[in-house]
Amino acid sequence: MKKIIQVALGILTSIGGFLDVGAIATSAQAGAAFGFELIWALVLGTVCVTFLVEMSGRLAAASKHTLAEAVRERFGAKFYFIQYIVEVVVDFLVLAAEIGGVCIALQLVTGLSYRWWVLPVAFFLWLLLWKGTFDLIENSVAILGLVTLVFVAAAVVVKPDWSSVLAGVVPSVARHDTAHYLFIAVSIVGALVSPYLFFFYSSGAVESKWDREYIGVNRAIAVVGMGFGSIVSLGLLVAAAVVLHPRGIQVDSYNQAALTLVQPFGFIGFLLFAASLGITCFGAALEVGLDQAYITAQAFGWRWGESQKPSKDARFSMTYTVVIFLSSLLMVAGIDPLQLTLFTMALSAAILPIVIVPFLVLMNDERYVGKYRNGWISNAVVIFIIGLAFVLAIVALPLEILGG
């Protein structure tokens, strides 16, 4: 019975927490710029993240190690250092973008520039991590995040041509603006397959003291949670495709993205968009901030745990404190949140091989996961998608920088 509740909670968390600033920005951009043509990128990203999240939980449950711990132990300090630096830099940028997302949401509602909201938001983020427990944070993210179901409602209400939607599932070549098309495709994959997710998820599983009994629970949560979560992202893309694309409206700011809900639902839609943006970004910021503390503490072998009082793991707690404060400065400085988000998502895709390859090796290592090793399907799917994302990123990033 208890397991069923945990599965349900886990699924809700995955759905409510699926969207974040990256998924919102890239889905809205994709729909506005290319209609339904990029739905395949969403599908690819979802399939990949489902496999990887499941693997992340399975690693933790089977080996009692988090991903970061296992990588350092297996591959040594020198290799882990490279992965760590890369991960920390990207995490830092993602955190800044998520904080930016929350502040933009507040700007939408109040009219007050996002830069004024940064320090209060950062403080509130910190306060929640300082005083809260892991379960409290995850569960509130889950429940509040369900507001994003409004995007699914919007997609239905705007009456898209469902056969065109279905056609978008098939990968296609760009009909125009190839560089931008590839860039958005890569950004979608980077947004969905966020490297921080795997470190975070395995840390959470260890915090929740999962063991081999939870392998099934983990699988259910990953598949159902990610699957339904992606429908929310799809909803936003479809709504953007119907509302913005025919009018040639590009998403250059979150105001335009908000139109996806304003058109079907009016002013309530606008408020719901702001709520969705604010809540999901806040939840993601909590996770990314925590993630940096997790990977740092685990790299050095410090005591760590969100459910412990900060005085019991001072270095861990100070890590997220410092990181939240520093990354918020990027937003205070006035860096455009939307541009930062899109760039960071593509960067995330580019670093995926560094994170995923050791991960895959571990998932095939009997000494860590015992009989719960990866089947050839898991290996094949992940290798394919990561390889694809990496190639696209190498191609698209320079093109976008040169072109934009």
Partner 1 sequence: MSQEDRKEINLIRDVLDNQLVDRHKQPMGRADGLIIELRTGEPPRLAYIEAGAQTLARRLHPKLSNWVSKLASRFGKDGEPYRIPWSRVHDVGIDIDVGVDAEKTPVMLFEQWLREHVVGRIPGGS
Partner 2 sequence: MTKRHEVHLELLLGKHVRDKDGLKVGRIEEVRAHEQGEEWVVKEYLIGPVAILERLSALPLAGGILGLVTGKVPSGYKVPWDKLDLSDPEHPCLTCTRGQLEPLTRGKEAGKKKGKSNVKL
Binding site for partner 2 (CB under 8 A): 74, 76-77, 360-362, 364-368
Return the residues of window 361-380 that contact partner 1 according to CB under 8 A: none
Provide the Cα torsion 361, 362, 367, 368; round to 10°.
-170
300 binds, among partner 1, partner 2, none (CB under 5 to 8 A by kind): partner 1
Cβ proximity to partner 1: between 182 and 323 the closer is 323
81 binds, among partner 2, partner 1, none (CB under 5 to 8 A by kind): partner 1
Return the residues of window 278-317 that contact partner 1 according to CB under 8 A: 300-304, 309-311, 313-315, 317
Cβ proximity to partner 2: between 62 and 96 the closer is 62
364 binds, among partner 1, partner 2, none (CB under 5 to 8 A by kind): partner 2
> Residue 85: how many CB atoms within 10 A of its CB?
11
Cβ proximity to partner 1: between 77 and 143 the closer is 77
Smallest distance, partner 1 to C-beta of residue 361, A: 13
Which one-letter amino acid corresponds to residue 256? Q
Provide the Cα torsion 234, 235, 236, 237; round to 10°.
50
84 binds, among partner 2, partner 1, none (CB under 5 to 8 A by kind): none
Smallest distance, partner 1 to C-beta of residue 118, A: 20
130 touches partner 1 (CB under 8 A)? yes
Smallest distance, partner 1 to C-beta of residue 397, A: 28
SS (H, E, C) the chain: CHHHHHHHHHHHHHHHCCCCHHHHHHHHHHHHHHCCCCHHHHHHHHHHHHHHHHHHHHHHHHHCCCHHHHHHHHHHHHHHHHHHHHHHHHHHHHHHHHHHHHHHHHHHHHCCCHHHHHHHHHHHHHHHHHHCCHHHHHHHHHHHHHHHHHHHHHHHHCCCCHHHHHHCCCCCCCCCCHHHHHHHHHHHHHHHCCHHHHHHHHHHHHHCCCCHHHHHHHHHHHHHHHHHHHHHHHHHHHHHHHHCHHHCCCCCCHHHHHHHHHHHHHHHHHHHHHHHHHHHHHHHHHHHHHHHHHHHHHHHCCCCCCCCCHHHHHHHHHHHHHHHHHHHHHHHCCCCHHHHHHHHHHHHHHHHHHHHHHHHHHHCCHHHHHHHCCCHHHHHHHHHHHHHHHHHHHHHHHHHHHHC
72 binds, among partner 1, partner 2, none (CB under 5 to 8 A by kind): partner 1
Cβ proximity to partner 1: between 294 and 390 the closer is 294
Smallest distance, partner 1 to C-beta of residue 22, A: 31
How many residues make contact with partner 1 (CB under 8 A)?
26
120 binds, among partner 2, partner 1, none (CB under 5 to 8 A by kind): none
Cβ proximity to partner 1: between 247 and 312 the closer is 312
Smallest distance, partner 1 to C-beta of residue 209, A: 14
112 binds, among partner 2, partner 1, none (CB under 5 to 8 A by kind): none
366 binds, among partner 2, partner 1, none (CB under 5 to 8 A by kind): partner 2
Return the residues of window 310-329 that contact partner 1 according to CB under 8 A: 310-311, 313-315, 317-318
Return the residues of window 38-97 that contact partner 1 according to CB under 8 A: 63-65, 69, 72-73, 76-78, 80-81
Radius of gyration of the chain (CA): 20
The residues that touch partner 1, with contacts defined as CB under 8 A, are: 63-65, 69, 72-73, 76-78, 80-81, 130-131, 300-304, 309-311, 313-315, 317-318
